Chains A and B, each alone.
Chain A
Amino acid sequence: MIPGMDCVARAAAACLIALLALTGCADRGPAAGGVTIVFKHAKILGPVDPMPGLLAEFEARHPGVRVKAEALPWNSDEQRQFLVINLEGGNPGFDVMMLDCIWVPEFARAGWLLDLTPALAPGEMEAHFPSAVAPGRYRGRDWALPWFMNVGLLYYRTDLLFKYGLGVPETQAEMVTAIRRVRAGERDPRLEGYLWQGKQYEGLVVNALEGFWAAGTEVLDADGRVFPQPERATAALTFLRGLIDEGLSPGWVTAADEEVTRRAFGQGEAVFLRSWPYAADLFELPESRVRGKVGLAPLPRRDRATPAPGSTGGSHLAVTRATAHREAAVALVRFLAGEPAQRALAETGAVKPSRPALYRDPALVRAFPSLPRIHDLTMAGRPRPVTPAYVMLSTALQPELSAALVGVKTPAVSVAHAQRRLTFLLAGLER
């Protein structure tokens, strides 16, 4: 016998066993007289993972049903890629998925999601924020249940505003004045004014949309027209570009995402920050340099008469249309989106619930004192355009918006180019 042959044989045997194990994993048929639901979700950050406990509770309430939770990739782009490839293949290998709210109409339009409307109790959706229900609703049907909630808001330094006798700015002009006053008084070259997200990615689109809404316009109107008022969109971009030109925002916001800006503000290096609620708890950690010095406010308005809603975001839960276990899968989605499960998830502090009632829950408010404030901001929030073409729209907008911010194009030219490109891309797509 050739030396090493034994090794080869063992390796081959190991491969065979691994292969059998894999095919065993892929087999999702009834296990011991029950059904197994495969649930794809991103890992929930925080000190403890509440998911195993929640799923065990669900299994105890539904005898014969087993839930197999599987992790989605880490970042949003990879999650989307994974879901799209598997759903487009027709046999996804999972029954329930967590998905970014901006994908719901798209996945519903593609026929990948199960219509949940018939399974819902009357009034069930009313328990969620309206801006959480809207992205899950397409053609009058509910395709996904809201799970986690997000809203764009303004963080400000209470100590600095108080020191200079300034109120919380309600308009963009007031914010600019406040920045000038504080920086003139502090004489600290490291202290920046207003931080926001200007890197060429989805976050930039969110910041720009908030600017467009504050200027009283939008990217896509009810009739499907792109940039119905280009001059207002131009004005909004001119304001953002002006913040950089006048040194009110540092030039590096054009490469900044949420974490980069959150860290700088958390180091005490800025007066104002536009971000999501997740940052509030991080600023109050014992080792934080801005602990006890941060306030939460609505985004500043352009003029007092026009509301400036923060963009909402979050994650939804949906069932694949191809699932062989509709009842159990729908039950799991309703269980996880229900109040007890959302409370357990909110207790980790990693996510905010989509149910307004929980923002007034005494125990939760004691642990997270900013909840009532976030509730009001979320109530006033606005979802991004609810259309199956949203990601297409965002991807086309990103380079144009970035070009306006870094000065490669004037705001007017970049709006005109974005308008032309989007009109071409959306032409003939029935929404």
Chain B
Amino acid sequence: MRPLGGGRGTGLALVAPALVVLAVVTVFPALWVMWLSLQRRIPIFGISAFEGWGNYLFLAGDPRFWNAAWVTLIFTVVSVLLELALGVLVALALVGQRRGVRTAIALLLLSWALPAVVTGKLFEWLYNPAAGLVNFLLGGARLNWLGDPTLAFPGLVLADVWRTMPFVAILCLARLRGIPAEVYEAARVDGAGPLATLVRITLPLCKQILLIAVLFRTLDALRAFDLMFVLTGGGPAGTTETLTVYAYRSLFQTLHLGLGSAIGVVVFALVMLVAWGYLRALRHEGIAA
């Protein structure tokens, strides 16, 4: 189809305002953070000097940074995998139901719609060793969920899964409903059992939507901040401190603007790298142009 009136020039002219706005609110701050990350800037002490790669060199030898990087990666991998698995299971369970689906979706949306800060506070009380629901359900156990270095991280992942699994479930459910019944009938005629149907028909048909869901979830998980900040503050002993929490503490608490920006740039690079990897995978699947 020929574009209405005029060629590429008109098109470019029409998107130009949007591009300018994007450049101003996205590209400029991103470049500014990169510039800051090359400086030693501590405004309280009147220190502001260009120092090249100094902040990055410090980070390379900083155990707190490596711990935070490790926590970020494990958190992303574990929470996204769990969300994916549970989300698909919930969608599969819901798609065959006749009654109560609307209620179930409403409940799913509720946990997805709550702000992470609220979820954090909610789980802080759920995990309360003496009065919390979690220990009560475990038969009156006195597990020190957020204060024990081996339990705090699983506790954090659980809260994140509770919060974001519905996103995967609802996307997956929408796709499942779009699969024509004939496909399943054909499979049954060919003698495919439930497992074979799931592995060879349902999942392959959901693959594209799941890839998109995983892309969004991974990028969100890598940048996650509010949930752990409220729930544990990065503790105990830094076992739940992600790169974003460390960046926040460096930027807004210790006011080491250069160092904080350098951590921010690392997160940015990580997110871009992962996004690029996924986009390649998606292109392979023929989703993205």
Instruction: Tell me if chain B binds chain A.
Output: yes
A255 near B237 (CB under 8 angstroms)?
A: no
Those of A172-207 within 8 Å (CB) of chain B: 190, 198-201
CA distance A261 to B43 in the complex (A): 37
Q: Which residues of B contact A22 (CB under 8 A)?
A: none
Those of B129-162 within 8 Å (CB) of chain A: 129-131, 142, 144-149, 152
Partner of A391, one of B131, B142, B144, B255: B255
CA distance A364 to B144 in the complex (A): 41
Known: A255-B145, A255-B152. A392 touches B255 (CB 8 A): yes
Partner of B147, one of A111, A199, A398, A399: A199
B45 interface residue per 8 A CB criterion: yes
B234 interface residue per 8 A CB criterion: yes
CA distance A252 to B124 in the complex (A): 12
Binds A, one of B82-90, B97-105, B186-194, B246-254: B246-254
Q: Which residues of A contact B238 (CB under 8 A)?
A: 200, 399, 402-403
Chain A interface, number of residues (Cβ within 8 angstroms): 46
CA distance A405 to B238 in the complex (A): 12
B149 near A408 (CB under 8 angstroms)?
A: yes
Q: Which residues of A contact B234 (CB under 8 A)?
A: 200, 398-399
B236 interface residue per 8 A CB criterion: yes
B54 interface residue per 8 A CB criterion: no
Binds B, one of A77-85, A147-155, A281-289: A77-85
Q: Report the minimal beta-carbon distance from A261 to chain B, rounded to whole angstroms.
A: 11
Known: A84-B252, A391-B254, A406-B147. A399 touches B237 (CB 8 A): yes
Q: Which residues of A contact B42 (CB under 8 A)?
A: 429
- Interface of chain A, main secondary structure: helix
CA distance A263 to B131 in the complex (A): 10
Q: Which residues of B contact A81 (CB under 8 A)?
A: 252
A256 interface residue per 8 A CB criterion: yes
A253 interface residue per 8 A CB criterion: yes
CA distance A80 to B248 in the complex (A): 12
The size bracket of the interface on B is 35 or more
B44 interface residue per 8 A CB criterion: yes
CA distance A391 to B42 in the complex (A): 13
**Contact indicator per residue, chain B 236-248, by CB within 8 Å of chain A (1) or not (0):** 1111010000000
Partner of A403, one of B152, B237, B256: B237
B252 near A399 (CB under 8 angstroms)?
A: no
Those of B101-136 within 8 Å (CB) of chain A: 127-131
A106 interface residue per 8 A CB criterion: yes
Known: A84-B255, A252-B129, A269-B130. A399 touches B235 (CB 8 A): yes
**Top-9 shortest CB links A-B:** A200-B235, A255-B147, A254-B147, A255-B146, A403-B237, A252-B129, A399-B238, A392-B254, A408-B237
Contacts A251-B142, A264-B131, A392-B254 aside, 15 further interface pairs with beta carbons under 8 A come to A80-B252, A81-B252, A88-B43, A106-B255, A199-B232, A199-B236, A201-B233, A251-B148, A252-B129, A254-B236, A255-B146, A260-B128, A395-B249, A408-B236, A430-B45
10 A-B pairs with C-beta separation under 8 A: A77-B253, A109-B45, A199-B233, A253-B147, A255-B145, A255-B235, A255-B236, A392-B255, A406-B147, A409-B237
